[in-house]
A and B are shown apart, each in its own frame.
Chain A
Amino acid sequence: MSGFAHELPGRPLPAITPESKPYWDALNEHRLVFQACADCGTVRHYPRPLCAECFSLRVEWVESRGRGTVHSWTVAHHPFHLAFKGLVPYALVTVDMPEGVRVQAPWRGEVATLKLGLPVRVVFERVAPSLTLPAFVRDI
């Protein structure tokens, strides 16, 4: 692995692969997409070359409705990476999406309101000229 500017106090950028490029491109268009097998339809995340159900290499992309429920969470207090020093404490939620995969992303809400099963929806945040990340807010 390479491609992270560890020596810079900037946010680490993903080392995008041919498999993952459509995912990152869609985030820049404020769309959350997942890989799906073009043969059996099984949705998978994170992007990778092969369907583990039918071993097909054929891929299509499905757009998420962006709504899910909280599976777990953490609150980062210690900045293990220089780029996040000014952001701590920050909460991250792991979200069950109805498509059958999970998304881990920052939580934009009160930590005290977090509980298993809490309905949430995705929002999009541009954090660098070429990078948009998902985040979650409470779905009312």
Chain B
Amino acid sequence: MLVASHVPVNGAPLMLVSIAPRRYLPGIPFTRGRAMSLHKSGVISGVGETRYSKVSGQSVLALHLEASLAAIADAGLSPRDIDGLIPYGGIGVVAEDFITNFGIEDLRFSAHTPLGGASPIAAVQCALAAVSAGICRHVLVPIARNGSSGGRIQEAVEQMPQFAACAEFELPVGAFAPAQLYAPMARRHMELYGTTSLHFAEVAVSTRHNAILNGRAMMTKPMTVEDHQASRMIADPFRLFDCSLESDGGAAVVVSRADCARDLRKPAVMVLGIAEGHPDSPSAISQRQDMVGIGLDKCAPRAFEMAGVTPDDIDVAEIYDCFTYVVIRQLEALGFCKRGEGGPFVASGAIRLDGRLPVNTHGGLLSQGHIAGMNHIVELVRQLRGEAGRAQVANAEVGLVTGYGDMGDGSVAILARA
């Protein structure tokens, strides 16, 4: 949690001069009191998605536009109303493509938030900053990719600058795929806390159960714990069914200024709290002093404080699930259980649809589709509107969604019915 500083911020430069520069502004937490600036600063006004498949047969740009049009229509807006854009960086689609295809006359804001799977929520945070500063009113946050048919994501990963250290020093010894890079984190968690592959199985099985109810999920065959345990080993301790899908498809959300809410077609979903966090040693997990630590450990307390709620208030949670283990570790970071107790927490049945914290009610990246977690935001908005179909959580009023990207970047948003 942020601690209110007793030292006024304008006293900081004096401190800087007087001490050895071992740490920037030692002892002065970066704080403006409570981080309230984005609390209720905007709404998610529209959500949309394409079909999720192994082969889309469409260009990545066409998928972007299809998902975006669905989100814009869901908000009751015209494509020309979009005056802010935060495309997912590095996949070849930029704000100019939307100006051209939508005929936007005066785009006032564009940005990228390059945090891998933590990008969509980081982009929502960026959009809220833009709309609450009065720069623009409706920010489109799209992502689409042919992650299955269009070439292995792995090959793109090796080209990304944030993976440069890994590409130079770990790729040559044989560690380069995310499964291989995250596996030592999971193994250490298992050795320190007694977490087991059966705990991982609980995440995979409960997520598949929800995917079958979803109607848009790529994976529709029931999975048992035995199926999980029989799936082939990929990077010990990760089996095939611990790993997320590779998908073609797109999803998008529209973030609008809070005072636009009454003009929208659907009930607005308000952002109560939102934050991003970056892990120590963000470019090399192997060098991370606390290898089990992730960015969400840092930003989750900030988001809860901004929202003014506690984990007990959360009715439904969509947790970024690139790997089963990553769900378990994030549940700890979010405070739903203590560090090291994520395995027993999921084994208790807590994250099932009828449990005390239904998780990944759409089937997640593990079983619905890997749309970098934008599909998690889409699902949470639907849950809070009561539009989640057969996986609807009764009386879902406050929900939480996380993103997790690259080597452990984290993001989290806490949303509520406006």
Least CB distance, A80 to chain B, in whole angstroms? 4
- Give a binary string over A60-87; 1 marks a CB under 8 Å from any B CB, 0 the rest: 0000000000011111111011001001
The answer to whether A76 touches B168 (Cβ under 8 A) is no
Q: Which residues of B contact A (CB under 8 A)?
A: 21-22, 154-155, 158-161, 163-165, 167-177, 179-180, 183-185, 187-188, 191-192, 232-237, 284, 286-287, 291
The answer to whether B173 touches A133 (Cβ under 8 A) is yes
Choose one: B22, B159, B185, B191; the contact of A53 (CB below 8 Å). Answer: B22
Q: Which residues of A contact B (CB under 8 A)?
A: 1-2, 4, 6, 11-17, 20, 45-46, 48, 53-55, 71-78, 80-81, 84, 87, 89-90, 92, 94, 101-106, 115-116, 127, 131, 133-134
Known interface pairs A12-B172, A53-B22; A76-B235 also in contact (CB < 8 Å):
yes
Q: Which B residues touch A55, using CB under 8 A?
A: 21
Q: Which A residues touch B192, using CB under 8 A?
A: 116
Least CB distance, A132 to chain B, in whole angstroms? 10
Least CB distance, B393 to chain A, in whole angstroms? 35
> In the complex, A45 Cα to B236 Cα: how many Å?
25
The answer to whether B172 touches A104 (Cβ under 8 A) is no
* A and B contact pairs by CB, cutoff 8 A, 30 listed: A1-B158, A4-B158, A6-B158, A14-B167, A14-B168, A14-B172, A17-B168, A46-B169, A71-B291, A74-B180, A74-B183, A74-B237, A75-B236, A76-B174, A76-B235, A76-B236, A77-B235, A78-B177, A78-B232, A78-B235, A80-B154, A80-B176, A80-B179, A81-B177, A92-B174, A104-B173, A104-B184, A104-B286, A116-B188, A127-B172
- Known contacts A92-B175, A104-B169; 13 additional CB pairs below 8 A are A4-B158, A6-B158, A14-B171, A46-B284, A54-B21, A71-B188, A74-B184, A81-B154, A90-B174, A92-B174, A104-B173, A106-B173, A134-B173
The answer to whether B232 touches A77 (Cβ under 8 A) is yes
Known interface pairs A54-B22, A80-B176; A4-B233 also in contact (CB < 8 Å):
no
Q: Which A residues touch B236, using CB under 8 A?
A: 74-77, 89
Least CB distance, B120 to chain A, in whole angstroms? 24
The answer to whether B173 touches A75 (Cβ under 8 A) is no
The answer to whether A78 touches B179 (Cβ under 8 A) is yes
The 9 closest A-B pairs by CB, nearest first: A74-B183, A72-B184, A80-B177, A75-B236, A72-B188, A77-B233, A104-B286, A78-B234, A14-B168
> In the complex, A77 Cα to B231 Cα: how many Å?
12
The answer to whether B167 touches A73 (Cβ under 8 A) is no
Q: Which B residues touch A12, using CB under 8 A?
A: 171-172
Interface centre among B21, B236, B286 (most CB of A within 10 A): B286
Known interface pairs A46-B287, A55-B21; A75-B233 also in contact (CB < 8 Å):
yes
